[in-house]
Every structure is written in structure tokens, then in C-alpha cells.
């Protein structure tokens, strides 16, 4: 884009060109605008223009508490070498230099008024005159100095020194917070301009600071799309835009190569990042509500029947869906839970990212499961719908699916298409058949109920797709039925499994770590199940656990301590582990007794370190999560 093209702020640049050449104008210029509107970006681009012969001194007043801070900021720009801390100049010399160049008194005076003083050291003439500089005071509303004093201070340069001064501020805050502002402004400011958002220029500038060339290429190729969506959000804040660009670069670096090679997938990630970032930033959306969007996989005409209740949150979601009609908010890539974790925890979940890829529309092929194709039934032709539905029914009736999450997906799809009168069976019939399926699964694959033990994500989504039909009473009834079956299976299996796990901790700490911390199944027998998200520890007698731990070598004890630290690292996500809190507290109490019994011994120091540095922090985290869960229920 041509930097010389006309922009919404061209008239301001033209006037500043005129003003900065005036000699002793006797008034300052105010550039105003809301937070994030691009005021600082505008002035930085203006005074740093190539070939600019006029000298500028810029200072941000953000957080400054006294005039010395301001003056030293000017001094650093005038004398970058002399102001370097490594040179170790005495404060008096620095003060003298500054009094010579900016010609103001750095000595604290009770009145807080700047005054001209003769420099107390002899300096070359080239260092004694800063009057030719244009002074720029940014972030006026964020200055900690009383507004009357700081404006009087700025007025000194305008009236007494005849200097050209540009002030930048969010004037709304100044008017609201100071009764004196308008009166002083009338005397000091001769012209006021409101900065308009220069989206294209700003976006181009933000993209150029991205370090990864591939990310730059993707951003520039989606330039118009970014602008279109940003305008639709009605959020005029360039700081948010810059954060979005940086977040996209961060996400891109963690994407699998096959996603990086899919321009359409990258475009969708970028579009969703813009919408979710701004909706959350403005308070119109909470991260935890992103998953709720997947529950409304209908066109707006089919959703109207669900808006009769007074659910304010649901109304906001429907409004959001109707605002961004062309974006796949109900089926976001990679998946809704991934986005929720990203915005709520700032964490890029590579595991969920990789899992969701195979079920994504961007990677569907002849090997894509038919239930995944049916999940997107609204995108099928009539013939495709009939073909895939017949195939799915046949696979379902022959019990080809053994994963609970998949069964719940299929159940939800059946409920949806039944509700839309696209399926001959009633919801009651569908529920009855699903319960029978769960009973068969328990008989044949009881370990499946342990593997998928009530993970929080499985209540809303799995394998990268949100559950359909979740709002129907039948879906809730089946979920409760599955929970009850799971509890029965766990009661039957966990005592024996926990004892086996304890033996493995004693003999093979690495395997113990893999089974309790990593999402991968081990081979063989009952322990083919993975317990990363299963609260198996609560089934182990605390006294027996401590006895086993103490029987291990110091090296293996330290390894076991590390397993605990790793297991609860992301307890915010694996909230099923909260129920292990009481068990952990019992372990801590027993170990404290051992510590007292081993005073003066190295083993006591080792156990005490584990209690204080690991167990205490884990228990504190889990208790905090418990309170958070209770507060939201």
C-alpha cells in the first residue's frame, strides 16, 4: 500500500506539518482518542518519517510521578551515551547537563513549578539548546502527577520557552476525572484533533513486525478478510489487533505441518481468533461459553424455537451466531474446547489439536468415519444423507463402536435428526436403544468405562467435535445413565487396579509415570487403561501407600515425587482429579509424622521437601479449584 495515499488522518498530518514549522506559536496541539484508537501509533509514525529534518523529543507520561522522570526521559534522547548507566556519571553532572539542554530546574521545590536556571557547569554550545525540538507528551491521562500541575508544567514550555508542543490523551478520562482540566486546556491548547482509526496502515505495520515469514505470508493473503471481520466486530482498538496478530504467530508455530499447508484451515483459525478475542475482550463472551456455541448447530431459522426462555447468556450466543453467519462458530477448527483452554488458560493444547485434525472437515477422505460425516449432516446432499444414515444405523446396530464418546456423538446426531423429522424413530426409542448399547458395552468392554471416566470435556465435546442434541432431556438422561454405569464399573475394578498400580510404582517408576501422567495406553490386562484423568489414587489405602513409598530407594522416591508434580500440573483441565484432594491430605499428614520421627536424618529432609514444595502446592491448587467449581454450580 502506498504510504502517501489519503487517510482519515491526513488532514491532521498536514496541520502538524504547518504547526511544527511555526516559531513561538504560543499554543499546544491536542491529539485525542479513546484507548487503543491508534494515537501513539499515529504520532510515532508521524515523527519518525524518513527524511524528517525536524527534531522531536517524545515522552510517555504513563505512570510518571514527578517531573524529574519526564526530564530524564528527555535527557536520555538528547544524550543517549552520557545517560547510559554504565558510564556512572555523578547525579550532579547529569542534572547540570539537563538544566543546560532542556533549561529547567531538577531541584525539588515545594511549589512543584519548573523554573529557568543558569547551568552550573560549562557545556559546548551544541548541547545547551533544546529549544528547536518539538516536545511530544503522550498518555497524559495516565500520568500520576496532578493534572493541574502537569498541564502547568507543559504550559511553561509553550509560554515561557515558545516551544511547539503536541499532547496526546484520552480526553474523555481527563474530563471525567478533573474539574480543572477544561479551564486549563482553554489556555494551553489551541487546536484539538480526534484521531481516527487507520486500520489498513496499522495492520500492515503489525504484520511487518512478525518474525516468521510463513505467518507474514498467511496474514497478508488474508488481509481483506481480517479487515472485514474486524469492522464487523465494531471494536476500534488497535492494541487488540496487534495482540491478535502476535497470538496467531504463536498458534502457528505449534500447528502440525499438515495444517500449515492448508490455507483454508489457517484462514479459519485466524478468523476465529479475531472473533473470539474481541468478543471476550469486550465482555460479550466468556471462554467457557465457546463450547456452548457447538450446541446450536442449526441455521438461525431453526434456533428461534429455543429462544423463548429468558436465558440471557443464550440470547448473547444467538446474537453472536447471527452476527458472524459466515463463520463456523458452531463447529470451530480445531475444536471448541481447544479454543476455550487457549483463552481461559493461555495454553496451547497440542494433544487436543492433534486429536481433532483427523475429524476436521479439512482432512476428510474416504477413510473418515461415517458418524463424523453425519455430524455435519446439514452440509450433505439428500442422497449423501440417506446413504450415510443407512450406513451409520447398520454400524450402530451391529455394535461396531466401543468408545463411549463416539456412542454419545451418534446418539446426539440421532436425536437431532429425529427432532428435525429426518429420522423415523422417536427420541424415546433412540434413548431406549442407547441404554441397551451401553449395557452391551459394559459386558464386553468394561475397561472402556474406566478409560473415559467422566472427563469434563466428555460432557460437552470429544475428538474435536461438540456433542449434538445436548439440550434434549434424553441426552441428559443418557449421560446420567452412563455416569451410573461408570461408577459401578469403577467400584468393581478400581480396588484391584489401584493395588496393581501401587506395585508398579514400587518396581517401575517410569511405567507408573506413564500410566498416571501421559495420555497413552499401556499394553496388557487390566492396566491397559490410562489413569491420567482417573482419580485412582483415592482407592489406595494412604497408610499402605506411605509404607510402599518409604520402602523405595531414595532415587526412586525422588522419581515418584516428580510424578505427583506432573500429574496435577494441569489440574485446571483434568478436574476429575479434584476428588483426590482428601487422599492427598491424608498422605501429607502421614508423611509429616515420618518427618518428625526422622529429624536430623537426610530421609526426613527429603520427605519434608516433598511435603512443603510439592504436596502443599498441589493441595492448595485443588482446594482452590474445588471452591471455583462450587461457586459456578
- Name the residue ranges covered by the structural domains of the chain: 10-196, 200-363, 370-487, 541-633
Judged against a pLDDT cut of 60, whether residue 97 lies above it is answered with no
Cα–Cα distances (Å) from 381 to 133, 373, 580, in that order, read 70, 12, 49
CA 603 to chain centre: 42
Helix (H) or strand (E) holding 439: helix 427-444
pLDDT averaged over the chain?
Answer: 82
Q: Determine contact, residues 221/263, Cβ cutoff 8 Å.
A: yes
pLDDT on residue 237: 84
Q: At what angle do helices 147-155 and 181-188 cross, to 10 degrees?
A: 10
Judged against a pLDDT cut of 60, whether residue 604 lies above it is answered with yes
pLDDT on residue 118: 28
Please compute Rg for the chain using Cα positions.
33
User: Could you tell me the three cell numbers for 246?
Assistant: 502476535
* Backbone φ and ψ of 212, nearest 5°: -85, 125
Q: What is the CATH number of domain 10-196?
A: 3.40.50.300
Judged against a pLDDT cut of 80, whether residue 16 lies above it is answered with yes
Asked, as a colleague might, if the bond just before 334 is cis with ω within 30 of 0, I would say: yes
Q: Determine contact, residues 8/189, Cβ cutoff 8 Å.
A: no
Residue 298 half-sphere exposure, CB side, CA atoms within 13 Å? 22
pLDDT on residue 222: 95
Q: Determine contact, residues 70/61, Cβ cutoff 8 Å.
A: yes
Q: What is the mean predicted confidence (pLDDT) over 267-276?
A: 96
Q: At what angle do helices 223-233 and 263-281 cross, to 10 degrees?
A: 20
User: Could you tell me the three cell numbers for 455?
Assistant: 472427563
CA 41 to chain centre: 24
pLDDT-above-90 percentage for the chain = 46
Residue 109 has a CB neighbour count (10 Å cut-off) of 11
**pLDDT grade for 530, boundaries at 50, 70 and 90:** confident
Q: Is 256 left (phi over 0), alpha (psi -120 to 50) or beta?
A: beta
Question: Is 60 in a helix, a strand, or coil?
Answer: strand
Alpha helices in 234-311 (DSSP H): 238-254, 257-260, 263-281, 290-293, 300-303
pLDDT on residue 431: 97
Residue 131 has a CB neighbour count (10 Å cut-off) of 14
Q: What is the mean predicted confidence (pLDDT) over 138-153?
A: 91
Distance CA 127, CA 141 (A): 31
pLDDT on residue 81: 55
Q: Determine contact, residues 517/497, Cβ cutoff 8 Å.
A: no
DSSP 612: I
Cα–Cα distances (Å) from 335 to 278, 353, 574, 629, in that order, read 18, 8, 17, 23
Q: Determine contact, residues 221/266, Cβ cutoff 8 Å.
A: no
Q: Determine contact, residues 62/265, Cβ cutoff 8 Å.
A: no
Q: Is 146 left (phi over 0), alpha (psi -120 to 50) or beta?
A: beta
**pLDDT grade for 451, boundaries at 50, 70 and 90:** low
Judged against a pLDDT cut of 90, whether residue 481 lies above it is answered with yes
Q: Which of 174, 238, 175, 233 is nearest to 204 (CA)?
A: 238
pTM, 2 dp:
0.58
Per-residue model confidence as pLDDT tens digits over 346-391: 888 887 788 777 777 888 777 788 998 999 898 899 999 999 999 9
* DSSP class per residue in 353-375: HHHHHTTSGGG--TTS-HHHHHH
Distance CA 517, CA 582 (A): 20
pLDDT on residue 77: 82
Residue 330 half-sphere exposure, CB side, CA atoms within 13 Å? 21
pLDDT on residue 311: 65
Residues constituting the chain = 633
Helix (H) or strand (E) holding 38: none
User: Could you tell me the three cell numbers for 608?
Assistant: 519434608
Judged against a pLDDT cut of 50, whether residue 509 lies above it is answered with yes
Distance CA 165, CA 25 (A): 9
Cα–Cα distances (Å) from 447 to 167, 358, 422, in that order, read 69, 25, 35
Q: Is 505 left (phi over 0), alpha (psi -120 to 50) or beta?
A: alpha
Amino acid at each position: 500500500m502506498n504510504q502517501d495515499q489519503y487517510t482519515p488522518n491526513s488532514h491532521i498530518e498536514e496541520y502538524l506539518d504547518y504547526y511544527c514549522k511555526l516559531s513561538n506559536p504560543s499554543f499546544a496541539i491536542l491529539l485525542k482518542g479513546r484507548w487503543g484508537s491508534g494515537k501513539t501509533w499515529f504520532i510515532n509514525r508521524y515523527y519518525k518519517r524518513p527524511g524528517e529534518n525536524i527534531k522531536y523529543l517524545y515522552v510517555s507520561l504513563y505512570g510518571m510521578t514527578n517531573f524529574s522522570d519526564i526530564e530524564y526521559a528527555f535527557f536520555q534522547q538528547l544524550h543517549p551515551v552520557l545517560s547510559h548507566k554504565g558510564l556512572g556519571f555523578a547525579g550532579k553532572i547529569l542534572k547540570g547537563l539537563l538544566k543546560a539542554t532542556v533549561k529547567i530546574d531538577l531541584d525539588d521545590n515545594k511549589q512543584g513549578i519548573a523554573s529557568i536556571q543558569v547551568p552550573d557547569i560549562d557545556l559546548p554550545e551544541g548541547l545547551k539548546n533544546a529549544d528547536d525540538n518539538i516536545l511530544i507528551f503522550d498518555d497524559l491521562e495516565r500520568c500520576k502527577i496532578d493534572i493541574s500541575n502537569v498541564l502547568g508544567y507543559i504550559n511553561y514550555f509553550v509560554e515561557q520557552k515558545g516551544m511547539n508542543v503536541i499532547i496526546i490523551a484520552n480526553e474523555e478520562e481527563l474530563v471525567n476525572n478533573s474539574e480543572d482540566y477544561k479551564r486549563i486546556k482553554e489556555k494551553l491548547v489551541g487546536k484539538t484533533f480526534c484521531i481516527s482509526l487507520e486500520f489498513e496502515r496499522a495492520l500492515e505495520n503489525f504484520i511487518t513486525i512478525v518474525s516468521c515469514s510463513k505467518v507474514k505470508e498467511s496474514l497478508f493473503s488474508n488481509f481483506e478478510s481480517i479487515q472485514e471481520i474486524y469492522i464487523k466486530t465494531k471494536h476500534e482498538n488497535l492494541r487488540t489487533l496487534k495482540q491478535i496478530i502476535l497470538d496467531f504467530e504463536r498458534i502457528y508455530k505449534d500447528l502440525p505441518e499438515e495444517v500449515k499447508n492448508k490455507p483454508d484451515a489457517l484462514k479459519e483459525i485466524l478468523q476465529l481468533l479475531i472473533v473470539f478475542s474481541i468478543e471476550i475482550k469486550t465482555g460479550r463472551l466468556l471462554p467457557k461459553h465457546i463450547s456452548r456455541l457447538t450446541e446450536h448447530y442449526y441455521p438461525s431459522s431453526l434456533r428461534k424455537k429455543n429462544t423463548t426462555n429468558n436465558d440471557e447468556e443464550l440470547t448473547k450466543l444467538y446474537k453472536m451466531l447471527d452476527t458472524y453467519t459466515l463463520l463456523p462458530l458452531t463447529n470451530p477448527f480445531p475444536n471448541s474446547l481447544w479454543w476455550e483452554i487457549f483463552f481461559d488458560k493461555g495454553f496451547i493444547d497440542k494433544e487436543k489439536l492433534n486429536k481433532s485434525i483427523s475429524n476436521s472437515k479439512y482432512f476428510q477422505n474416504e477413510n473418515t468415519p461415517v458418524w463424523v460425516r453425519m455430524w455435519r449432516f446439514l452440509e450433505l446432499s439428500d442422497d449423501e444423507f440417506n446413504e450415510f444414515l443407512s450406513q451409520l444405523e447398520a454400524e450402530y446396530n451391529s455394535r461396531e463402536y466401543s468408545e463411549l464418546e463416539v456412542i454419545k456423538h451418534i446418539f446426539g446426531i440421532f436425536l437431532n435428526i429425529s427432532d428435525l423429522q429426518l429420522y423415523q424413530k422417536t427420541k424415546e426409542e433412540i434413548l431406549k436403544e442407547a441404554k441397551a448399547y451401553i449395557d452391551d458395552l459394559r459386558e464386553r468392554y468394561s475397561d472402556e468405562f474406566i478409560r473415559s471416566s467422566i472427563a469434563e470435556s466428555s460432557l460437552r465435546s470429544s475428538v474435536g467435535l461438540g456433542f449434538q442434541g445436548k439440550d434434549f432431556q434424553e441426552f441428559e438422561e443418557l449421560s446420567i445413565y452412563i455416569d451410573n454405569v461408570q461408577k459401578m464399573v469403577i467400584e468393581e475394578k478400581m480396588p484391584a487396579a489401584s493395588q496393581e498400580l501401587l506395585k508398579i510404582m514400587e518396581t517401575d517408576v517410569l511405567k507408573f509415570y506413564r500410566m498416571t501422567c501421559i495420555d497413552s495406553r499401556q499394553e496388557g490386562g487390566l492396566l491397559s487403561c490410562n489413569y491420567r484423568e482417573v482419580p485412582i489414587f483415592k482407592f489406595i489405602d494412604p497408610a499402605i501407600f506411605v509404607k510402599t513409598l518409604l520402602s523405595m530407594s531414595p532415587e526412586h522416591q525422588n522419581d515418584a515425587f516428580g510424578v505427583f508434580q506432573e500429574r496435577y500440573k494441569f489440574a485446571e483441565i483434568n478436574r476429575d482429579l479434584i476428588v483426590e484432594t482428601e487422599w492427598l491430605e491424608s498422605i501429607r499428614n502421614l508423611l509429616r509424622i515420618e518427618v518428625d520421627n526422622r529429624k536430623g536424618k537426610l530421609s526426613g529432609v527429603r520427605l519434608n521437601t516433598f511435603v512443603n514444595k510439592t504436596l502443599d502446592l498441589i493441595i492448595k491448587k485443588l482446594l482452590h479449584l474445588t471452591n471455583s467449581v462450587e461457586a459456578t454450580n
